């Protein structure tokens, strides 16, 4: 055995045990596929990736020169395709499209598309060497696929070129697991993959996906899924990516319209390489692309991906892409929208950005294109992140790193012309790259047009409005572009048991300008602590993005609103928020995470009083004898004790639109069996998403009345809803997705009590959606809801809408002057 083969099999031994994503039974078939996939990864890897970058640039430059006469006729090039200003014989604008789109007989020469692949995916031939397979049926049976369906096509072992008989909307009931040597060619029909599970390319090679619309993708529940004509296997719940590339090589994704998927739009992980993603149009999503999912997956050092001619469009937030390891060539893309950052990464990826246009958002704190994660500057400054010939607009800037002479060592990439220093690139190279960068608009105009020349916003269509508000609370304020000038209108939007909370409405606006918390006895003006201890009503907002580390628990006075809208406000790595013996508080749009126990001592709790406090418990938000409280759009994770606890007679509370992850005991409502005052407790949980890596207590209750309505429970490891002491729980229109283990399917958990007692408690499940074997043990008076008409209950939407209703749970990225 050669040394290189020895290294490959050594890597196999280390990687394959952790290489089991969504495979419930890692049998011999999957083990063999994983072994072959690792070999393909090493075979596909280019030892000199700059050569591929060079070849791509030369071909693009040649096409650009041919198109230069068109550019000179119309300097603005504002979406020239589709306008009367474009007078060329064919609307091709980049070398990939030039290769095939001007052929009037393209439908008779479909396989010519294979000759058009460029970048790291240039070796991809898809189903070129096979027969045509015509999809005639949009239905989906994931255990015994019917002939004529897309699933039946992709599980065949021979090469196939898959086309469609007519326009189709296909809802995949489980992830679509593809065999290799396939082309899915949507040209000539409008094909939507929507409302169901995703496309999974796992441990395979040589796949082309072209000309589809993929949107509104949700998690697949898992179960027995056929992945080949001769194999069916157990799958765990899928992530809800639009397209997931896992341990696969030689992949080309072209002319895709993608939006609004549960997790990423396109993820490529665990040794995937030899990939080109081109001519795509992406909108309406948070985490767009993830290349490399784990810091421990060193196999992703082999990852090589080209992103070319894509348009990153409206209402995108971040990850375009977010990279670990690998070599990523980002070339001639149009970045017109981001709300956090455009390109990010960790674990030393090489990112070469060339000839892109970056238009920064209006917010002065969101101008940076790049973001490094989990590494100090002394480390990431060694990574190679280079920007050459990019056009920065509206204050955008790219923080470069790595060898400043990188381009001199690869001069053939630039026809021998060395790039300008990074701090002068915008000005010195503006004229030189104007042709290329002006063409970026033109180059990306055709993105997804070949699939459908009238790209539509599906969410806007469903909700009949230009705004992404998806539930009753959000519809009250989020569609107002002047929300920042009408902040107090937000207080009119409270619903449920916390509907009386008006917070600081009627009081003055207090602007937090200082993120320090160094003096807990005499807080400095401008700090959050100084704001919350004032005895008058206040509407508290923030001057800029902030990370606030509270040295001791933040003791709030009543009649306060903490309104984080417009900025990213993190309460982290210190104490949490405490409302004790107060009323009328609104907390909105914060990130609260990594909360720890802090020691007691003298702490000011009002402008007139400072007192001694014992050690706190490490809750994110603690309500103690507090009333009329509304907590909305808060993202929470990792606290020493609970994320939100409400005890000792706290009541009149609504917790809505929040996103909870990475925690054990999420919520405790009623801390002690002896606290009979908690019989008055009334709490509404609405529109929340209980997400990844949660364990239990969502919530855990004692006494009281709890309305749990239209929440999305996608993860729990023990139980979701628990309690004792005769609590009343009305669960309506929620979605409960159980985990794979047969031992944790039950939603409910009664504690410290015999069945003879708890069967008399009123625990109702009304129109809940139970998925993947989840079940709710009801008890008590099943007609109780009809007897509760006088209570302030939020009306429940059908449970099948929960994925959309809770889509924007958590802290929002709002910009003044636009709907949030």
In angstroms, the CA 769 to CA 412 distance is 59
Residue that is written with structure tokens 């480390």 in the block: 379
CA angle, residues 114, 120, 121, in degrees to nearest 5: 30
* Burial of 59 from C-beta contacts in 10 A (0-12 / 13-18 / 19+): middle
Percent helix, strand, coil in the chain, to 5, is 20, 30, 50
Strand order in the sheet with 583-588: 508-512, 538-542, 560-563, 583-588, 627-632, 651-656, 682-686, 705-709, 728-732, 763-766
Where are the extended beta strands (E) located within 90-230?
Answer: 131-135, 160-164, 168-170, 176-177, 182-185, 191-194, 199-202, 205-210, 213-217, 223-228
Q: How many CB atoms lie within 10 A of CB 452?
A: 20
Catalytic entry in 319, 457, 487, 604? 319
Token pair of 530, please? 């100084």
- What is the four-CA torsion angle of 486, 492, 493, 498, rounded to 10 degrees? 140
How does DSSP assign 793-805, residue by residue? PPPPPPGGGHHHH
Token pair of 525, please? 């003006």
Q: Which residues contact 545 (CB under 8 A, 6 or more apart)?
A: 365, 567, 568, 569
Q: Which has the closest alpha carbon to 206: 148, 173, 249?
A: 249
- What is the four-CA torsion angle of 421, 424, 425, 431, rounded to 10 degrees? -130
In angstroms, the CA 749 to CA 13 distance is 41
Token pair of 524, please? 């400095």
Token pair of 363, please? 């917010």
Terminal-residue alpha carbon distance, the chain: 60
Largest CA distance in the chain: 85
Q: Which has the closest alpha carbon to 112: 185, 219, 35?
A: 185
Q: Which has the closest alpha carbon to 331: 387, 286, 260, 283?
A: 387
| Burial track 93-110 (b if 16+ CB lie within 10 A, e otherwise) | bbbbbbbbbeeeeeeeeb
Residue that is written with structure tokens 């290769």 in the block: 99
Kindly give the pairing relationship between strand 538-542 and strand 131-135.
Answer: unpaired
Q: Which has the closest alpha carbon to 529: 487, 486, 576, 493?
A: 576
30 Cα distance to chain centroid: 28
Helices and strands (H and E) in the chain: how many: 13, 62
| 319 labelled catalytic | yes
What residues act catalytically? 319
């Amino acid at each position: 055995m050669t040394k290189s083969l020895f290294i490959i099999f050594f890597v196999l031994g280390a990687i394959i045990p952790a290489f089991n994503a969504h495979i419930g039974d890692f049998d011999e078939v999957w083990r063999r596929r994983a072994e072959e996939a690792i070999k393909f990864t090493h075979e596909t890897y280019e030892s000199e990736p700059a050569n591929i970058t060079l070849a791509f640039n030369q071909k693009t430059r040649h096409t650009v020169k041919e198109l230069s006469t068109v550019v000179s006729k119309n300097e603005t090039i504002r979406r020239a395709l589709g306008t009367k200003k474009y007078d060329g014989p064919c609307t091709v604008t980049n070398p990939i499209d030039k290769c095939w789109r001007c052929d009037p007989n393209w439908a008779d020469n479909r396989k010519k598309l294979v000759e058009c692949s460029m970048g790291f995916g240039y070796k991809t031939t898809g189903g070129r060497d096979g027969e045509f397979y015509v999809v005639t049926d949009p239905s989906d049976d994931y255990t015994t696929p019917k002939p004529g369906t897309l699933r039946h096509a992709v599980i065949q072992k021979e090469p196939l070129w898959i086309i469609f008989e007519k326009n189709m909307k296909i809802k995949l009931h489980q992830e679509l697991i593809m065999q290799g040597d396939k082309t899915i060619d949507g040209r000539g029909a409008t094909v939507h993959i929507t409302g169901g599970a995703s496309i999974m390319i796992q441990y395979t090679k040589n796949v082309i996906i072209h000309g589809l619309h993929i949107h509104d993708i949700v998690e697949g529940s898992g179960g027995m899924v056929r992945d080949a004509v001769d194999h069916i296997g157990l799958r765990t719940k899928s992530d809800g990516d639009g397209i997931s590339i896992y341990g696969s090589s030689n992949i080309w994704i072209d002319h895709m319209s993608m939006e609004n998927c549960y997790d990423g739009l396109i993820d490529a992980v665990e040794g995937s390489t030899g990939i080109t993603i081109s001519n795509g149009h992406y909108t309406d999503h948070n985490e767009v692309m993830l290349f490399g999912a784990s810091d421990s997956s060193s196999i992703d050092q082999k990852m090589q991906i080209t992103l070319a001619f894509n348009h990153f469009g409206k209402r995108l937030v971040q990850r375009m892409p977010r990279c670990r390891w690998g070599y990523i060539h980002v070339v001639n893309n149009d970045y017109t929208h981001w709300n956090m950052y455009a390109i990010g990464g960790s674990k030393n990826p090489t990112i070469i950005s060339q000839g892109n246009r970056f238009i920064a958002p209006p917010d002065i704190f969101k101008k940076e294109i790049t973001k490094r994660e989990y590494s100090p500057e002394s480390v990431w400054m060694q990574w190679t992140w280079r920007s050459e010939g990019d056009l920065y607009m509206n204050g955008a800037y790219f923080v470069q790193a790595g060898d400043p002479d990188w381009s001199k060592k690869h001069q053939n990439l630039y026809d021998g012309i060395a790039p300008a220093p990074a701090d002068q690139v915008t000005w010195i190279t503006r004229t030189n790259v104007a042709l290329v960068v002006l063409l970026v608009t033109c180059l990306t105009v055709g993105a997804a047009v070949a699939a459908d020349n009238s790209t539509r916003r599906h969410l806007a269509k469903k909700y009949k409005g230009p705004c992404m508000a998806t539930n009753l609370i959000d519809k009250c304020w989020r569609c107002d572009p002047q929300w920042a000038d009408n902040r107090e209108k937000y207080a009119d939007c409270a619903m449920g048991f916390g509907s009386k909370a008006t917070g600081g409405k009627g009081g003055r606006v207090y602007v937090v300008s200082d993120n320090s918390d160094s003096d807990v006895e005499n807080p400095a003006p401008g700090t959050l602590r100084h704001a919350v201890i004032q005895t008058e009503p206040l509407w508290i907002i923030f001057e800029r993005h902030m990370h606030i580390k509270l040295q001791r628990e933040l003791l709030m006075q009543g009649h306060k609103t903490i309104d984080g809208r417009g900025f990213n406000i993190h309460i982290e790595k210190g104490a949490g928020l405490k409302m004790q013996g107060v009323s009328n508080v609104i907390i909105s749009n914060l990130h609260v995470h990594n909360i720890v126990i802090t020691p007691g001592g003298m702490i000011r709790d009002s402008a007139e009083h400072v007192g001694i406090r014992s050690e706190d418990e490490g809750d994110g938000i603690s309500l103690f004898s507090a009333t009329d409280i509304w907590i909305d759009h808060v993202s929470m994770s990792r606290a020493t004790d609970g994320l939100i606890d409400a005890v000792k007679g706290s009541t009149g509370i609504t917790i809505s639109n929040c996103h909870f992850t990475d925690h054990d005991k999420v919520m405790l409502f009623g801390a002690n069996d002896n606290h009979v005052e908690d019989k008055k407790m009334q709490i509404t949980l609405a529109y929340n998403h209980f997400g990844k890596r949660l364990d239990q207590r969502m919530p855990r209750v004692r006494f009281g009345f709890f309305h749990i309505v239209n929440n999305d429970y996608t993860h729990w490891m023990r139980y979701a809803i628990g309690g004792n002491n005769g609590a009343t729980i009305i669960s309506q229109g929620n979605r409960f997705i159980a985990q794979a283990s047969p031992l944790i399917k039950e939603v409910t958990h009664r504690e410290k009590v015999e069945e003879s007692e708890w069967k008399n408690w009123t625990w109702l499940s009304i129109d809940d959606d139970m998925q993947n074997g989840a079940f709710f043990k009801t008890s008590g008076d099943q007609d109780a809801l009809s007897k509760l008409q006088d209570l302030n209950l939020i009306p429940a939407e059908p449970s099948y809408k929960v994925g959309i209703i809770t889509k924007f749970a958590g802290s929002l990225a709002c910009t003044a002057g636009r709907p949030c």
